[in-house]
Chain A
Amino acid sequence: MEHILSLLVFFPAMAGLLGFLVAKESIRAYGISVSAIEFFLSIILWIGYDSTNAGYQFVEYYPFISSYGMSYYLGVDGISLFLVILSTFITMIALIALSIEKEIKNLIISVLFLEMTMVGVFVILDVIWFYAFWELSLVPMLYIIGAWGSVNRMYAAIKFFLYTFAGSVLMLVGILYMGFLYHEATGIWSFALPDWYLLQVPFETQLWLFGAFFLAFAIKVPMFPFHTWLPYAHGQAPTIGSIILAAVLLKMGSYGFVRFSLPLFPDASVYFLIPVAVICIIMVIYAAMIAYAQKDMKQVIAYSSISHMGIVVLGTFAMNAEGITGSIFLMLSHGIVSGALFMLVGVIYDRRHTKLMSDFGGLASVMPNFATIYGIMLMASVGLPLSIGFVGEFLSLVGFYRISWVMTLLAGTGIILGAVYMLVLYKKSFFGEVVHAENKTLKDLNAKELTALIPLVALVAILGIYPKPVLSVIDMSVQKMLVLMDQKAVLQETKELLFKANTIGGTN
């Protein structure tokens, strides 16, 4: 168990390198086995995880360039644990459902490399390494979209790459400055996040650093108005690319807020709370409206991701355990649900080679199993209680209610608008008569697709009915982080807000 995190990070990449030697015919099975082993490793991680300890576990620390304070520093806590499991799980499921034949070897190897970067981002505690994994994750995705995408793929791939890359550059500046500050304060260099957590940054500096980090995270999430790369990327990406992009890559941005912005710059986070919340509300409503206007099924889900991520970020900025725990849970549930929805769109795209809703209609009678699973995912997406989607959304909104009830009300319109665009999508595609002759002979889900989808359905139900094992682990680490924020805050107002946000009673 000592090196399980290193194993988790590098196993897929090493296996990916070996994959070049594997014959083309067996590469599928190879990819699925590797990702399954990786998934089981992450489950072992969960089993070994001590749920009574809120701090970092399975820590590995080796000096890397010690004169500049860089180290190879891994660790996992309640906040990152489930995101790691989500990454390995979604990669496995996406590989199982993979239906591409062209250049499949390169695709699977890219996916395995991508898995390394995703797991790396979530478990690494050295910020320079974090930055490296963060940027590296763009490369396989660029390749996946650019090589296996649809017609306009080059534009989408380059837009995705340059946009997110440009955002991160400023984060690098922020990282270096933060390292410099640490050196100024202590006389030694360190880029280890736990060290940085101990550093109290002056308020003015916090504002600038918050801004530098914010841009990188906001583009990744993506927050309005930095979201336009997402619809293109989803529109052009192959199914597997969309699944991983929506399920995991977007979570890196919101994870960044929880891991960096809040604990490193508590005062700035509180200072920018209202502007960020306004952006979130715009995201929720605006993206939901655009989703309603879409004609392409995949675009609806792409925009719905933006809308849901708005609630994720809103929950993060609730500054209380309810909201932040909820937002992390919502990251997981959105990962599972949006991944499943993109997979379902992929299923129908494989059959009909179109994603336009007007080309469908009446699918419920032709493909009943497909319609049922789609319906379940749709209900999870609109946040029906006892499905996975409800827990996170409810907690995020509960949490933010303490900050502002008007904003919660506005963000809450997301649950109405979400129902609007999702139900309209369902009605257009699944209900009514079968009007297109091509649709009359469509085959229902095959064994491969069912294997990929049924675990997702099961998770939607299980975590909706009994989310406690996951929530309690997250909650413990979140509460620890809140205490840290309170200790580090330099302004009295920040401490007051943190206190108020975490206390019952009194009027707001």
Chain B
Amino acid sequence: MITLTHYFILTGILFSIGLVGVMRRTNLLMLFFSTEILLNAINVGFVAVSKYYNDLSGQLFAFFIIAVAASEVAVGLGLLILWYKRNGSVDLNSLQMMKG
């Protein structure tokens, strides 16, 4: 039987993968992928909990997150392409203008 715990474990594993990706990757594109994994990990959690409580709000939230993630990727990819055109690289180490 697949219980809520199993879903949480899956969420945790997915989230950790996303988190490691966010921290380790230096390619901006890969960063976006990792962010997507993070968001989807949360989505899985929301849906599972929603099913468990028989409450639709969780699933509703998941849809919202998908929508927000999509728009974020749209804007983000646009900026990324702009940056690539200007600098010829999407490596994070070349992006250090905010150094304090």
Whether A and B touch directly in their complex, counting CB atoms under 8 A apart, is answered as: no
Residues of B within 8 A of A (CB): none
Residues of A within 8 A of B (CB): none
